[in-house]
């Protein structure tokens, strides 16, 4: 049958339903390089506006998965499970939760992504560690998972290559916030990784791609439904992103925060609550705990005993990083040359935070990309971030800015100050964890 990419684009542009064969051939063309970025962008925009029904979403997900290798972990002596977040600011959960679950007996082959839009990317964070290889060869990846229990890596040439190109094009064509595209991107990587269970962290709030609870619910339902339809048992939590999850945003700064969390130097309350809730869901989905209280005990023991930190250190070293990152982080995580403190300037409360604006500050400092080929500066970002509801004095630190040069430092200081709203009365705080799933499938409507 004759296959013309432009006809597939036209069909979706006009509101048609794409069949499995058309999607398989389009994704194969993306993976092989025969389909250029211009046609990828056109299809992404057509899907963005026209949406996809559940059947199309399953077909797109499987087509992305089948554009490369699918791993088989049948030789491992324990369950293979993973977690994925839809993205936010200061969301470093993957860095700490993977080692925690590994210390509890799970195997976590975590195929992660780079930053999208204003959100940080797990791979960009790990590449702030000198020598860390985010794209090991398949043999090395399997060895690290088998020996350490966790390996956080990116898509190799063999794993979901169509999604890797699609992901990069979406980042720079304003097509990130699409439920079918987010769903297929996430699940294709997870299916290619050979998982037995997946737990999703769907973010909602002004720092999330799904800003409203309704949008987050729709995405969570679609991910669970498509995951199940593609043969992957999937659960989802919906968590708040109306402020950064950790008090740091930026690649090396978030690695520092992850090390502090694992070693017990600092465990911020919101970060800890979300991490443990996701960990409980993972252990339950993997059959490693009988109930949530038992799962919580196991996770906290993994932290307090140092077992989770030890797994992280072993993973870093096995993937090319330093052997002494846990004990000498400042040797391997290079600081930014310029810093400045942003203070509140008045007494009161932090009543609101423009979380997306803070994420964009990190990008504009050089901690994110505006084009796929852009180079990340791992040193830059924000630390010491104040929280919503926090009581302030005039000298209270809202944030510390880490920049590469004085000009970008001055611009970032002004943007950070503008991102915080201060008031005389404490704000009403949203629930941190809005709902726990699995959920009942939604109606089979097309999701834009």
* Stated pTM of the model: 0.88
Total number of domains constituting the chain = 3
Q: Is residue 73 part of a domain?
A: no
Q: State the catalytic residue, choosing from 86, 122, 175, 188.
A: 122
Q: In tens digits, what is the pLDDT along the chain, a chain of 448 residues? A: 679 999 999 999 999 999 999 999 999 999 999 999 999 999 999 999 999 999 999 999 999 999 999 999 999 999 999 999 988 999 999 999 999 999 999 999 998 877 766 877 899 999 999 999 999 988 999 999 999 999 999 877 788 899 989 988 997 898 988 889 989 998 998 999 899 999 999 999 999 988 899 989 989 999 999 999 999 999 999 999 999 999 999 999 999 999 999 999 999 999 999 999 999 999 999 999 999 999 999 999 999 999 999 999 999 999 999 999 999 999 999 999 999 999 999 999 999 999 999 999 999 999 987 766 778 999 999 999 999 999 999 999 999 999 999 999 999 999 999 999 999 999 999 999 987 654 444 445 576 7
My answer on whether 152 and 244 are in the same domain is: yes
Q: State the catalytic residue, choosing from 142, 190, 369, 400.
A: 190
Dist CA 167 CA 146 (whole Å)? 28
Mark whether 118 is an active-site residue.
no
CATH of the domain at 57: 1.20.970.10
Q: State the catalytic residue, choosing from 12, 118, 125, 189.
A: 189
Q: Is residue 55 part of a domain?
A: yes
Nearest to 206 by CA among 87, 355, 90: 355
Mark whether 388 is an active-site residue.
no
Query: Which domain does 342 fall in, by range?
Result: 335-423
Question: Residue 445 CB: number of other CB atoms within 10 A?
Answer: 10
Dist CA 217 CA 210 (whole Å)? 9
Mark whether 446 is an active-site residue.
no
Mark whether 190 is an active-site residue.
yes
My answer on whether 146 and 53 are in the same domain is: no
Pairing of strands 391-392, 348-353: antiparallel
Q: State the catalytic residue, choosing from 57, 61, 67, 85.
A: 85
Mark whether 82 is an active-site residue.
yes
Q: State the catalytic residue, choosing from 50, 83, 165, 270.
A: 83
Q: Is residue 448 part of a domain?
A: no
Dist CA 110 CA 192 (whole Å)? 11
Place of tokens 């919906």: 238
Q: Is residue 117 part of a domain?
A: yes
Q: Which of 329, 347, 382 is the last residue before a domain boundary?
A: 329
């Amino acid at each position: 049958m004759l296959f013309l990419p432009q006809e597939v684009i036209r069909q979706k542009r006009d509101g048609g339903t794409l069949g499995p064969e058309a999607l398989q051939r389009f994704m194969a063309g993306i993976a092989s390089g025969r389909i250029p970025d211009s046609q990828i962008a056109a299809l992404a925009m057509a899907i963005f506006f026209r949406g996809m029904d559940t059947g199309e979403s399953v077909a797109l997900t499987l087509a992305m998965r089948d554009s490369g290798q699918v791993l088989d972990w049948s030789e491992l002596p324990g369950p293979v499970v993973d977690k994925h977040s839809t993205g936010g600011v200061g969301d470093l959960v993957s860095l700490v939760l993977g080692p925690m679950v590994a210390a509890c007996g799970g195997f976590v082959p975590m195929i992660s992504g780079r930053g999208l839009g204003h959100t940080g990317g797990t791979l960009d964070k790990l590449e702030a560690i000198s020598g860390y290889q985010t794209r090991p060869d398949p043999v090395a990846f399997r060895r690290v998972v088998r020996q350490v229990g966790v390996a956080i890596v990116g898509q190799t040439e063999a794993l979901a290559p169509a999604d890797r190109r699609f992901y990069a094009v979406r980042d720079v064509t304003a097509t990130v916030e699409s439920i079918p595209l987010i769903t297929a991107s996430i699940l294709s990587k997870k299916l290619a990784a050979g998982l037995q269970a997946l737990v999703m962290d769907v973010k909602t709030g002004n720092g999330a791609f799904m800003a409203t609870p309704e949008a987050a619910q729709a995405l969570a339902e679609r991910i669970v439904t498509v995951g199940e339809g593609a043969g992957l048992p999937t659960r989802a939590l919906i968590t708040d992103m109306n402020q950064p999850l950790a008090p740091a945003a930026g690649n090396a700064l978030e690695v520092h925060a992850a090390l502090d969390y694992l070693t017990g130097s600092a465990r911020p309350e919101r970060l800890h609550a979300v991490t443990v809730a996701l960990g409980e869901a993972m252990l339950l989905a993997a059959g490693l705990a009988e109930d949530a209280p038992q799962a919580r005990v196991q996770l906290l023991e993994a932290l307090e005993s140092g077992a989770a930190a030890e797994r992280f250190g072993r993973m870093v070293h096995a993937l090319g990083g330093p052997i002494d990152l846990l004990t000498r982080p400042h040797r391997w995580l290079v600081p930014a040359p310029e810093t400045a403190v942003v203070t509140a300037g008045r007494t009161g409360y932090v009543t609101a935070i423009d979380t997306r604006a803070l994420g964009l500050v990190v990008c504009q400092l050089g901690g994110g990309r505006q084009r796929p080929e852009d180079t990340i500066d791992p040193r830059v970002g924000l630390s010491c971030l104040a929280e919503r509801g926090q009581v302030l004095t005039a000298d209270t630190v809202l944030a510390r800015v880490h920049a590469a040069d004085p000009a970008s430092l001055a611009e970032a200081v002004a943007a950070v100050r503008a991102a915080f709203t201060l008031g005389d009365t404490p704000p009403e705080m949203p629930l941190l964890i809005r709902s726990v799933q699995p959920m009942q499938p939604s109606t089979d409507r097309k999701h834009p």
